[in-house]
Amino acid sequence: MNLPQQQFPKKFSKKLRTLNNENDIIMKHKYIQYRRRFLNLLSDITDAIKGVETDYTSIRLSKALVLLAIPMVLEMFMESVFILFDIYFVSKLGAEAVSVVGLTESMLTIIYAFGIGFSISATAIVSRRVGEKQPKMASHAAFQAILVTISVSILVTLAGLFFSSDLLRLMGASNDSIVLYSGYTKWMLAGNATIMLLFVLNGIFRGAGDAAIAMRVLWFANIINIVLDPMLIFGIGPFPQLGVEGAAIATNIGRGSAVIYQLYICFFGKSRIRIALADLKPDFSQIASFLKLSYSGISQMLIATTSWIGLVRIISMFGSISVAGYTVGIRIMIFAMLPASGISNAAATLVGQNLGAKKPAQAERSAWLSGWVNAFLMGLVGIFLVAWPEAALRVITHDSSIIEKGAECLRILSFGFIAYGLGMVVVNSLNGAGDTFTPMIINLFCFWILEIPLAYILAINLSMGERGVYYAIVTAETLMTITAILAFRRGKWKIQKV
């Protein structure tokens, strides 16, 4: 603040003018610095969305994180938008339809386990080869991952075609729900190849550092899905009214189109991964290495996802409204967490590429920077959902009974968001280093030994109902984060062979 000079004796006036001039220079200098940083950030964001090719191991760590995280966050944001749209349209069909979607998704988590497990391995191997400056080896490994994924998906397709009703019954669905809505389950299980290949191919692109390609692929898939969803569910225009089965068909069309687009990029597009004719044959030694690495990755995901099946089975004891409330609550939670998983995917790529470039210290710094950024952002989201869960739920349903149950679920789970955000990054960093075994052991202890028994005791034995399940989830996830941090600090992942 410039005070009037006449308040001071004359001998101080010159000194005051000097100080004012110095302050102006300092403020101008700070303004120029902040403006330059802002323009650099805008430039980095633009480059991230465009997918400018760069060596992430040789640039400033914060810039590398922005270049990778922005498209991955946008990719996951679009996925979360679709999830909300999908359940919004399905909720118009009633609680029974929402319940079947929830039960089916609990079964689909097993497919996700294979898809994500293969994706983890693909990201770890490809990122390591790219860090070692061996793009041809990265492309060769990518095709072997695709070959394994297609082989496994065929088996799941057969199970979906012939046993979808039996699987729904096993999950606790009512006979009416099975008769009316089992078509949704059949379509989703039979079309599992679109899910698994979408995961694995995007995992390949992320490992190579082509995060912008993965982003465009998922946007392409979900825009198709969002457009087709209401048309096939409600029979808008020339489309038949297929109800909840239409949602599954729209999903398969959208994801299938994206997979075709991904394969085109792998063979003919501008990507760091370029599969050549010489790669189009099985390499059994590479497949064996991929499966060995995938075993722990799939196991850790199966442990986590089957625990969710166990949890939804406990919740189903309290009726369809409880399952529907849980389903919409989890959809909101996934919506909030998917962008955060984009940051954790960026961390996995940075860790893998830096280890390939023989820079373990930079790999570790990238993990911690990503982790604390994620924890901060998730904490902000958690505060909002604890305070106003009903407002978030009304975006996708106006059924008061479902909102009541969903709000209870969402409010309790949101207390653990800071732990979720940090834990996602630490676990993904271990996976990106190729250490898939440690997260598997952590998941085994936290989810099977702790979470499911604790959920049953709290919900059934202590008569807490669904709230007991939600408290068990927060407890297990928080303990998983703490354990993963301790394992990460030991540093054995730095010498992991991939």
CA-wise closest residue to 208 among 47, 52, 349, 72: 349
With beta carbons less than 8 A apart as the criterion, state whether 341 and 353 touch.
no
Distance CA 351, CA 343 (A): 12
* Intervals of the chain under pLDDT 50: 1-6, 8
CA-wise closest residue to 396 among 102, 97, 84: 84
Which letter, b or e, does each residue of 447-461 get, where b requires 16 or more Cβ atoms within 10 Å of its Cβ? bbebbbebbbebbee
CA-wise closest residue to 382 among 351, 353, 411: 411
Tell me if residue 490 falls in helix, strand or coil.
Answer: helix
pLDDT score at 110 = 78
Residues 51-108 have pLDDT tens digits of 777 888 888 888 888 888 888 888 877 777 777 677 778 878 877 777 777 777 777 7
**Domain coordinates of the chain in residue numbers?**
63-495
Distance CA 32, CA 25 (A): 10
- What number of other Cβ atoms are within 10 A of residue 97's Cβ? 24
Distance CA 30, CA 8 (A): 29
C-alpha 447 chain-centroid distance: 19
pLDDT score at 87 = 73
Instruction: Return the half-sphere exposure (C-beta side, CA atoms, 13 A cut-off) of residue 426.
Output: 26
Average pLDDT of the chain is: 85
- What number of other Cβ atoms are within 10 A of residue 213's Cβ? 27
- DSSP class of 446: I
Distance CA 469, CA 488 (A): 28
pLDDT score at 190 = 85
Sign of CA dihedral 173, 178, 183, 189: positive
> How far is residue 494 from each of residues 128, 356, 358, 361, 490, measured CA to CA in Å?
12, 10, 10, 9, 9
> How far is residue 294 from each of residues 149, 153, 346, 440, measured CA to CA in Å?
11, 15, 19, 11
- Crossing angle between the packed helical segments 320-356 and 466-490, to the nearest 10 degrees: 10
pLDDT score at 15 = 55
pLDDT score at 445 = 93
Instruction: Return the half-sphere exposure (C-beta side, CA atoms, 13 A cut-off) of residue 46.
Output: 6
CA-wise closest residue to 106 among 316, 317, 407, 399: 316
Concatenate the DSSP letters of all residues of 258-309 into one string: HHHHHHHHHHHSSSS----GGG-S--HHHHHHHHHHHHHHHHHHHHHHHHHH
Distance CA 495, CA 492 (A): 6
Residues 6+ positions from 46 with CB-CB distance below 8 Å: none
Residues 273-319 have pLDDT tens digits of 889 888 888 899 889 989 988 988 889 888 887 787 788 889 988 88
